[in-house]
Amino acid sequence: MFHVKQIKKAALNSSKKKHLKIKDYLVSGEEFTLVENEFGDLLQTKPVPEIEKLPEYYKSEKYISHTDTKKSFTEKVYHFVKGIALKQKVSLISSLNKGSGKLLDIGSGTGDFLVTAKENNWDVFGIEPNQDARILSEKKGVKVLKDLNEVSETNFDVITLWHVLEHVPDLENYIQQISSRLKPTGTLIVAVPNFKSKDAKHYNEFWAAYDVPRHLWHFSKTGIERLFSKHDFQLIKTKPMWFDAFYVSLLSEKYKTGKSNWVKAIFMGLYSNFSGLSTKEYSSHIYIIKKN
């Protein structure tokens, strides 16, 4: 838990920082502003698009998490790395819950994590707002619902949000909904980009993980801990997502220079990860969170 003095100090420091102007490089070309909230270490995208207009910002063939396309070299590499990451994710949840249990994956995309978890004896449920991604999931044998409100189960052993929390418009209410569906002894796993990483600082306004306005929120480790402590959660452990630094750097190079530069992206990914060994600030983090 954080003391009032710490919060006031964070707010004071926040007021001294400039707000970043970030462009939507993926779909609209529109410009947005990142604004720090009152506690600091948590940024919000402004202006927030109207809820009914948000899906328009996801309509791109380049938004890989909603498709299984493997046409370009980048897409092929993405899916190869994704296969490795899927095994690591299942290994993580299994280590936390004695090998099996009831899993809810929020923002399940095309369902590959659910399929892999199901093959490893997990009872799986998924949430995915994108209709095309839901259809692909069902073809793989896993049923996915559109919205968390449709989930009547309230006793999940593990709830996962792999790069999802940053997309949620009503952050506070959503965390409460998640909490009500998690067992008292259950585990919440949240993976989000970290704007205090070395690659974020290097690319600044070109950092691809800002991904406005699809990413409505932007987190640091301190921001995550403060946010969840308000909802009676405790941060148990933080783990790096090693591959993210390379993928994000590749996209960031394209946004910054207009060209895909694999050499620079690999160098920056390595530099960011090596820097993280001492600073503990990686491009993305996995947060393992439990109820108090």
Strand boundaries in 75-221, DSSP class E: 102-106, 123-127, 144-145, 156-162, 182-193, 217-219
pLDDT above 60: residue 1: no
Question: Residues 71, 75, 76, 79: is their CA dihedral positive or negative?
Answer: negative
pLDDT above 50: residue 38: yes
Tell me the pTM. 0.89
pLDDT above 60: residue 205: yes
Length of the chain: 292
Task: List the 31-36 sheet strands across, edge first.
Answer: 20-23, 31-36, 42-46, 217-219
69 within 8 A of 75, measured Cβ to Cβ: yes
pLDDT above 60: residue 164: yes
Q: What is the pLDDT of residue 68?
A: 60
Q: What is the pLDDT of residue 202?
A: 98
Angle between helices 73-96 and 244-257 (to 10 degrees): 150
Q: What is the pLDDT of residue 6?
A: 47
pLDDT tens, residue by residue, 230-256: 999 999 999 999 999 999 999 999 999
The total of other beta-carbon atoms located within 10 Å of residue 269's CB is 22
Q: What is the pLDDT of residue 275?
A: 98
- Scan for tokens 């659910």, then name that residue: 114
What integer is the mean pLDDT of 221-235? 96
pLDDT tens, residue by residue, 126-149: 999 988 899 999 999 998 999 999
Domains defined along the chain, listed by start:
4-51+71-291 (3.40.50.150)
Q: What phi-psi label fits residue 133: left (phi over 0), alpha (psi between -120 and 50 degrees) or beta?
A: alpha
What integer is the mean pLDDT of 29-34? 97
